[in-house]
Amino acid sequence: MSSHFSRDKEPSSEETVEIFDEKGRSLNCYIEHSLETDGITYLLLMPVDIPIVIISWDDDSDAEEVEAVMLEDDQEIEEIFANAKAVLAEQNLSLKHTGYSLTAIGELPPIEEEQLLTLNLDEEDSDLEAEELQLLASFYYCQKKYSIYTPLTPLLFFARYNRNQELELVSPDEENFQPILEELLFEEFDER
C-alpha cells in the first residue's frame, strides 16, 4: 500500500479527491471522514501516495552541531529533484512533485530504529510534539548532503465544499472550526 498512514490497510475503492496548491499542482487524497454541519460538508483528507520530506545537512566543520534544514524552496527542490528521484528509484519508489508535498509511489521498507530521525519542530513552543521521520535514502549534490524521509505521523488536510461546490482547504485555526476539527479527528482515531 502506498499510503504511509495506513500501512496495514488494503487498497480499496475509497473515494478520492484532488486538492490544488497555489501553483496549480494537484495532490490526490483519500476522504478519510466527512461531516456535514449547517449545510457545509467538511472533509478530513490524507494523501493517497507517501508524503516525502527532503532535508539538507549544513556541515559547518567549525560548528559543534550539524544543522538540518527541511527543503521548502521550489527552486532548490527542482535543482536536486532528478537526483532524489534516482536514489528513490533504487528503493523501488517513484518520486512525484505534487501539490503541498512531494510524494512517492511504491512500497516502503520496514521501519528500523536506526533509520528514524526525531525533529523538534519548535523548542520555544512546548505544545508542538517532536516529529519522527523514516530515512529512505541519502545523496550528495554540489558537495552538500541531502536525505529523503517520510513522516511516521499522517499528513492530514482539512477541506470543505464552498457554495460553488468547489473544494477548498480549511485552516485548523479558522474561527468556529475547532469543534468540527475535533469531531473529524475523533472519528479518525476512534476507528483505529
Query: What is residue 129's DSSP assignment?
Result: P
Instruction: Identify whether the C-beta of residue 141 lies closer than 8 Å to the C-beta of residue 84.
Output: no
Residue 75 phi, psi dihedral angles, 5° rounding: -65, -45
pLDDT confidence tier of residue 92, bands split at 50, 70 and 90 = very high
Instruction: Answer yes or no: is pLDDT of 107 > 90.
Output: yes
State the pTM of this model: 0.80
Of the candidates 74, 72, 15, which has an alpha carbon nearest to the alpha carbon of residue 46?
Answer: 15
Placement of cell 545537512 in the chain: 57
Instruction: Answer yes or no: is pLDDT of 10 > 50.
Output: no
Amino acid 84: pLDDT? 97
Instruction: Answer yes or no: is pLDDT of 4 > 80.
Output: no
Amino acid 14: pLDDT? 77
Angle at 30 between CA 27 and CA 35, to 5 degrees: 115
pLDDT tens per residue across span 22-41: 999 999 999 999 988 888 88
